[in-house]
Structure 1
């Protein structure tokens, strides 16, 4: 079976610091795969290396069976793979309207019928056409993240990379955004690779997950195994205790 996304022995180095050490994982088409671990574990570095925002010095990245080196990404790669960032305040240009933010990727990738696509994208994420000519500073955090999701989806990707997409939002808004993402995955048949420090979020959103520590994968398991506490690594057990949704009742 061809994997939607595969990483084979990927390493990332920042000067003398080895941030990723021969990390390997595979994600099936339509699967939602989680990456968990404490800060500095390498999970966001891996996501950014896949997206092309960090260089990887060795290893192979494959999308739908096509292998990419760090320098070989073409425009078609960025249409297939899109990323939603953690901070909706920092990921949207403050001097551009929502309209401009959504037009830009359409023009880069040569889409026509721009007006219809923008209207559809805003409708899909629960924002009406009244938001089209607002600036990002006129939007709430949840609305900004909806625009960021619309911007990622508007080029019709197959894979979404999600870097803690709700951690900067109020708790009351987090569930709305997670439910929106899950709905989009089902409607569009998307594949997710999602970073979170919250095991409860990963348990809600994902089918399988990799636990990372010190730039390496400690273990890979299904969400059902996580729920049944069928884990092999002590580090995973420590994460479960630290994560509020998995704390044992005394």
Structure 2
């Protein structure tokens, strides 16, 4: 990893969540969570299943209702419905690479769809560039999802997210459905892309090692609430203040993170 850690995050926030609340009937899934993401920064949301971390991503993407508080993207408040332009600038990569791609579409069709929706020209160049960027190349262009491995499918999903040249990526457990060896490849790919494009991202994971590999800062979540906010370096050094965070660290066997090597 480069010395990007600690050097991104300057400038006005790309996204601000202010006392965000999400209700599903009487159930309070997210309870007053506030944070911001700055240009080029990767923020992690970590916690057990049911902690509300994925619901936060879905609320930002317009897939879950915002019941209270507010979310602003590039200074503009997000309403109940997202405008089409929003999805050009904010893209999401889902957990399951098997379910997130249309089984009857080729990779070419999958990548062409967002270009058609947003009326983006120069599709030929963008498709070739997106496939090259995720390490697949044009030889995969006319294959169907069932002809790809799990890691290759997730690379296609990442290429689809990148092809509109977004400012913010929402990553919902993007490696948890993959084999351990493939997980490392996808994590390294995401970090390379973030550095190259200076992308902002929000990464959801239950795995502290994944979070500290990709994120400068993280929010520890429990029962829909923020427990504490830390830098990755603070977490690695054990500079935590809340018992729940210590419990997560103890439960994350093999938790390690290498310090970035200065460029």
Task: Give the TM-score of the pair, scaled to structure 1.
Answer: 0.96
- What is the aligned partner in structure 2 of residue 103 from structure 1? 112
How many corresponding residue pairs?
246
Structure 1 segments, 4+ long, off by >3 Å, are none
- What is the aligned partner in structure 2 of residue 29 from structure 1? 39
SS of the residue corresponding to residue 221 of structure 1 reads: strand
* Residues 1:39 and 2:49 aligned together: yes
- What is the aligned partner in structure 2 of residue 80 from structure 1? 89
Deviation of 1:20 (Å): 0.7
Deviations 1:54-111 (A, max 9, x none): 111111111122211223x212211111000000000001011111100000011111
Candidates 83, 95, 101, aligned match of 1:92: 101
* Residues 1:230 and 2:245 aligned together: no
SS of the residue corresponding to residue 183 of structure 2 reads: helix
- What is the aligned partner in structure 1 of residue 179 from structure 2? 170
Distance 1:77 1:245 in 2: 39
Task: Give the TM-score of the pair, scaled to structure 2.
Answer: 0.91
- Of the structure 1 ranges 212-221 and 60-69, higher mean CA displacement relative to structure 2 is found in 60-69
- What is the aligned partner in structure 2 of residue 204 from structure 1? 213
Maintained 8 Å contact 1:199/1:245: no
Deviations 1:178-208 (A, max 9, x none): 1110010011110010001100111111100
Distance 1:133 1:201 in 2: 32
Q: Which runs of 5+ in 2 are unaligned?
A: 1-10, 257-263
SS of the residue corresponding to residue 19 of structure 2 reads: strand
Deviation of 1:35 (Å): 0.4
- What is the aligned partner in structure 1 of residue 59 from structure 2? 49
* Residues 1:159 and 2:168 aligned together: yes
Q: Which runs of 5+ in 1 are unaligned?
A: none
Candidates 17, 23, 48, aligned match of 2:27: 17
Deviation of 1:246 (Å): 3.6
- What is the aligned partner in structure 2 of residue 185 from structure 1? 194
* Residues 1:135 and 2:171 aligned together: no
Candidates 12, 15, 18, aligned match of 1:2: 12
